[in-house]
Structure formats: C-alpha cells, structure tokens
Structure 1
C-alpha cells in the first residue's frame, strides 16, 4: 500500500508540475526541515487560514561565538541586549537564515555555525522566523519572505548605527526560502551595502526570473553567490547572482538515490556550503553560458573559481563542478 501511495504521489507531481516560471497550476512534493514529505498545491483554490505572523515580534536572533559555540544567546536590537551578550564589537558577523517549516535549531545551522567558529572568532547570528516559515501552506510562508528581510535589515542597520558591526563585515547566508529572505535583507538595509550574500539553492516555486525585486538578485549585496543543487524542482533554476555554481549540473546530486520531490538534492546545498567555509577545494570551471548547464555540456572557458567559502570574490558567471556522493564532498 505504501509503495502504491508513493507511486501515486510521483505521478501526481509529474502530471501537475510545470516549468518554474510557468503561470499554470502546479503541484510539487517537498520535504520540510524535519525531513517530512509534503504534497504542496502551489495554486490552491482555497487557502487554509494560518496563524498570524508579526515579523517584528516573531522573528528573533540567536548569537553564537567562540565563548558560547553551542548554547545560543537570544539578542535584540537594544544596546543592553548586545552589551550583556558575548557579541564581539567590531567583529565579523554572519547571519544564517533557515527555510520553509524549519527553525534556528534546524540541522544545517549548528553545522554551519561550527564551521564559522572554526574559521574565526565570528559573531554568528542564527535567525529564527519559524512562526512565519512554519505555515502549512507554502504560499503563506512564501508571502512572508519580504517583511522578514526588512526585520533583519533593521537589525543590521542597528548594529552599524551603534558601532557594533559594519555592513562591510556582514555576510548573510540563506537556505531555500531563507535565501530570498537574505535578498530582501540586502534590498532593505539603509546604512550601507551588505558585503556578501550566499544563497543555498534558493526556492524556485512561486519565484520568477522577471521579478528580481521579489527574490534574491545580483544587486542585493556587494557580492552575491548561489549554489544550485535542485534547479528547476525545489530550487530556482536560472543564474541570478554574480556567481552561480551548479554542482553536478545542479539538478540531481550523487548519493541521493531515488530523490522523491528533490528534498535530498535541495538540502545538499547546505552541506556543500558548510564544508566550503574551511575548504578551498571546490574548484569549478566557468561555462560559456547557462545554456551549457542545461545541456549538461560545459567544456570550460579556461577560467576557474572556488565555490562557497566566506569571502566576496571578483569572479563572475556560471560555473560547473563535480562532487562526491558523501562527505567530504569536494574533489579538488
């Protein structure tokens, strides 16, 4: 019976799935932050009533430093809160933003936090917008992306205004819907430009290439980068940042097996990014165009670039590389 149900869901997703930028109704199968599968109607006739979300009160921030690497301190945009915490004034700041039906405790956050604190004495701030991202209806969570980005932008401006941290020392990393929250964060800061935004397989459903003001875009920081691992399914397909990396051509990932709904490939982006923070071995070759990614034929232009890491880069374009099926993923 279970096999019959799985087969039915696969068929249903295939019948009602269309290219990401299509205006036609579409169903998709996706996996939440706890690994549970959901059949999602991306164009429902009747949307269920969801709990209210006030981004200004329901979004909160957990600080991790080398003084408290595993036990977060909840901080707010008040001087008292920052000064009573382990926040290192003038230090580098890294914001981590989770995706749909997830929270600050989702497994990618402690893993990525650990890598940053190994690299340096960072202020790692894990954003929790789980009240907004936890809507059972994907559309509701998707529509809360913009206002959540505004809240994070306000916090970054507060840190800059009070000389706790500058925009040039601030990077933002987001997964799936969180990548688009990162984009809105960059659009809404008022006191400067964020140094870098790293998007881990930005969500594809209900985001459009022709509407850059509503998604992560190239102009949202001094440097923007995306790791595409489930392009055209759960992840956004086309390049939208300064550098766009397509491991294994960006749609399916080795080691994921029969990846129903693309959840394994989608989440792989966070594993690749966290490993890259302390590794320069993700060597990729530049492709002549995105069309070579689609055709899965990238001979290379002779230019190479390192995927991920922590720094803004001068490289531009679309890049391809192969990775291993399990950690360590880098082959370079």
Structure 2
C-alpha cells in the first residue's frame, strides 16, 4: 500500500497553481486566514520553486506562507506532499530550525478527574504520581494532542477525559506542551522529537511507582509522533518498553520514514495500533503500526465528512467512543487489503474490535464500515449512548475544581480543533 501522495512534477505545477488561485475565494471566509492574493502568489511561488529546483530552499517566512495553505484546510493531497518535501529538503540542508525550542520547564502533565484538572511540571512528575488524586493501583493513560491545541482548550482532551473517567479504571493524564505545538506547523513538527524526549524523562519517574506494563500512550496527529518519540527515548533511558502506543491519524506533512522526522514507528512500543481517518492528506496513509485500521477504507474522507479537518478529527472521535463501558466492540474490523474486497466478502478472517479493546497480538491492515453520524460504530447502541451521556462528568458541576503545583488552570469551555 504505497503512499499515493507523489510530489507534483514540473508539468503539473501550473495546474496546482491554478487550483490554489481559483480556491482563494473559498478560503477567505475562514476565520484563521488574514491574507491577500499576493500572499497566495508568493506562497505558490515558494512551494513551486522548491519542487522544481530543490536547491531553492525556503526561508522561515517562505515556510510560513506555505504553512498558511495547510491552516486553510486545502482539500488537496499535493499541498501536504509539497510541504513534506520542503521539510525534508530544509532539514537535510540545515536551512530551518524551530522558532521555539522546547523548554521542559514550561511543559506540564495535567491529571484529569471528573471534578478537577491538576497541573504538574514535567520536571517534577513525582508530585503527580504521589498526589492523592493519582491512584498508583490503576493504570495510566497519557494523551498528547496535535497542532494548535492547548491543554485547557481542546475538545479532544475533554472528550477523552469524560470517556476514561466514565470507565474509572485508569488515571487519565493530558500533556500540555504549551506553545511548542501552538506555532507554525513546520516549527511544531520539528519540536516533536524533543517534546517526546522530555515526556520520557517524566515517565522515568513514573516507573518508580508503577510498572511499565501499566502505561498506555495515545497521540493524535502531531501528538502521535510525540508519543512515538517518548516511547523510543524511554527505552533508551531505561531499557523498558511501553506496552502500547495508539496513533490517531498520525500527521503526514514533514514526517517521512528514514529521514530526520521519521515520526511514529513500529518498535516504539511492544504493540502499536493506528487509526487512519484522513489518509494521505493531513494524516499518513501507509501502515505505521502493528495493526492499522482504515475506517471507510483508503478514502481521505470517511463517511459523513466533507472536509479534511472533519476527517482528521474522526480518528480520535472513533477511539473515544470505544472507551465507554459496553462500546468496546462498536467498531468491528476485518484484516483485508481494501474496502472493496471487504464489501465483496473476499476477506475471510475473523473480525476484531478497533479502538480500546483491540487484541494486542493483532497484525496487519484492517478495514471497516462506519456510520456517518454519532454513534459512529456500526455495532453501536443508541440507547446505550444516551445512557452514557453524563457518565464521567462531575456530579455537581459547581463543585468542579482546578488546582496546580505551578500555575493556575482555568476551567474554560473554549474548544480548539486539533488539525495536525
């Protein structure tokens, strides 16, 4: 299953320019974009020059202009592939470095309970592991989200926190990487390895209070590459191997196997499961884990989605649905080579659940159908979903508290889409 995102050739370049320019009116309505036609032309020129002549590598400003295309949500795979190519060339020639160097002193673990959000510095993880709110007898799930998210403004974290607190058998922790994944995408991508290493340093302390077998790392988009790096560095530092890493539509732009930014790779944990929901555009298409799942097949837009942003988010929405008690088998998948073969009943293997309950000995690529609206699992129960609506929330919202060992944590209702 090769990556269908090939870099446009010299002959196709004028067409890509034309497409970008003709879609200008579509992007102008988006709140995040404040730029003009000359910006588009400069952006296209920067990308085009780098594709035609690799020696003409972009400046940081050139990368910023090119990054605006992705911020706008271009529904074209060539934009993602072009940016990956630019990143590869820039990294190979040391032409670009991160704008903000990750500083472990500015990063936090945030422990989420139904009624509290408690921050602990990555430099002092022992404070969390020994906190009365942290139960060392339970397993720990650590979630890293993607580009443009903050720990108190992420719908991903809110939904996962609710689901895991409903289940009640784990300590749910979110990683706050602060501004280091809240800058220009390319700079954020360059930070993933170092952020992962800093998380691994915190996990070393966790091993003082619980066995490595009780740790599960989950990452969406850029977060998938961050937790992959965390797993690699923990093994380097301690010899211990994380039992499971779950990658949710790992980000595609800038991450190429065998290059400086390899991202999430087999071997970063004993078992890696990956859910691909925006294949080949914002998310990687090729298999990255031991078990790779393709809801709605290889299409970049799963059932019910009409934009790449929607598609990219579906991966974590699917997974979160499976965390609730009774939902473990909402998404049943079959090992196969395509959705077409699955629909033709040409995949004779047994079904396995995607998401929370995936058997950790699973190997291969799995395909499945999904519903276009929530609940997304074909085998979901609408009655059960309604019953779980308030599960995992604070019984009395007025008693919800926020505290920290370093700086205030605000209980905000603002939500930020994790695009990468």
Report the TM-score, using the length of structure 1 for normalisation: 0.82
Q: Higher strand fraction: Structure 1 or Structure 2?
A: 1
Q: Is the counterpart of residue 207 in structure 1 residue 255 in structure 2?
A: yes
**Aligned equivalents of 2:108, 2:354: Cα separation in 1:** 30
Determine the structure 1 residue equivalent to 2:309: 263
Following TM superposition, the consecutive aligned residue runs of length 4 or more in structure 1 with deviations greater than 4 angstroms are 11-18, 23-29, 36-41, 44-51
Q: SS at 1:284's partner residue?
A: strand
Per the alignment, residue 350 of structure 2 pairs with 303
Mean Cα displacement is larger for which, 174-183 or 105-114? 105-114
Residue 70 of structure 1 contacts residue 110 of structure 1 at CA under 8 Å; is this kept in 2? Answer: no
Structure 1 CA distance, aligned partners of 2:364 and 2:47? 29
Q: Does 1:187 pair with 2:236? A: no
Give the number of the structure with larger relative contact order, counting CA–CA contacts within 8 Å between residues 6 or more apart.
Answer: 2
SS in 1 for 2:256: coil
Please, which moves more after superposition, 240-249 or 184-193?
184-193
Q: Aligned residue for 1:55? A: 103
Q: Which aligned pairs between 1:155-174 and structure 2 lie closer than 5 A?
A: 155-160=202-207, 162-163=208-209, 165-174=210-219
Deviation at 1:117, TM superposition (A): 1.4
In the TM superposition, what is the alpha-carbon distance from 1:239 to its structure 2 partner? 0.3
Superposition deviation, residue 300 in structure 1: 1.5
Structure 1 segment 279-298 matched on structure 2, within 5 A: 279=327, 280-287=329-336, 289=337, 292=338, 296-298=340-342
Aligned residues: 309
The answer to whether 1:124 aligns with 2:172 is yes
Provide, for residues 160-192 of structure 1, a one-character-per-residue CA deviation record: whole Å limited to 9, x for no partner.
0x22x2210000110100000010011011331
Is the CA contact 2:97–2:190 (under 8 Å) kept in the aligned structure 1? no
Cα deviation per residue 1:19-76 (whole Å; 9 max; x = unaligned)?
xxxx979957445xxxx758988238999997533331122110023xxx24211123
SS at match of 1:199: strand
Relative to 1, partners in 2 of residues 1:17 and 1:171: Cα closer, same or farther, differing over 3 Å?
A: farther
Distance 1:140 1:80, change over 3 A: closer
CA distance in 2, matches of 1:315, 1:128: 31
Range with greater deviation from structure 2 (141-150 or 185-194): 185-194
**C-alpha distance in structure 2 between counterparts of 1:91 and 1:173, whole Å:** 17
Q: Given the two structures, how large is their TM-score scaled by the length of structure 2?
A: 0.65
Q: Which of 165, 168, 189 in structure 2 is aligned with 1:142?
A: 189
Bigger-Rg structure (1/2): 2
Aligned twin of 1:152: 199
2:373 match: 326
Over 3 Å counting, the alpha-carbon distance change for 1:82 and 1:6 in structure 2 is same
Shift of 1:130: 2.9
**Separation of aligned partners in 1, 2:290 and 2:323:** 19
C-alpha distance 135-313 of structure 1, shift in aligned 2 (>3 A): same
SS in 2 for 1:144: helix
Residue 276 of structure 1: how far off its partner (Å): 1.3
CA distance in 2 between counterparts of 1:212 and 1:285 reads 34
Structure-2 residue corresponding to 1:274: 320
Tell me, in whole angstroms, the C-alpha distance in 2 between the residues paired with 1:154 and 1:312.
29
Question: Which residue of 1 is the match for residue 221 of structure 2?
Answer: 176
Match of 1:5 among 15, 25, 30: 25
Q: Does 1:102 align with 2:149?
A: yes
Deviation at 1:206, TM superposition (A): 1.1
SS at match of 1:301: coil
Say which structure is richer in helix: 2
SS for the counterpart of 1:113 is: helix
Equivalent residue, structure 2, for 1:73: 118
Is residue 98–residue 174 contact of structure 1 (8 Å, CA) maintained in 2?
yes
Q: Secondary structure at the match of 1:244?
A: strand
- Within 2, Cα distance between the matches of 1:307 and 1:16? 41
Runs of 5+ unmatched residues, structure 1: none
Q: Secondary structure at the match of 1:249?
A: coil
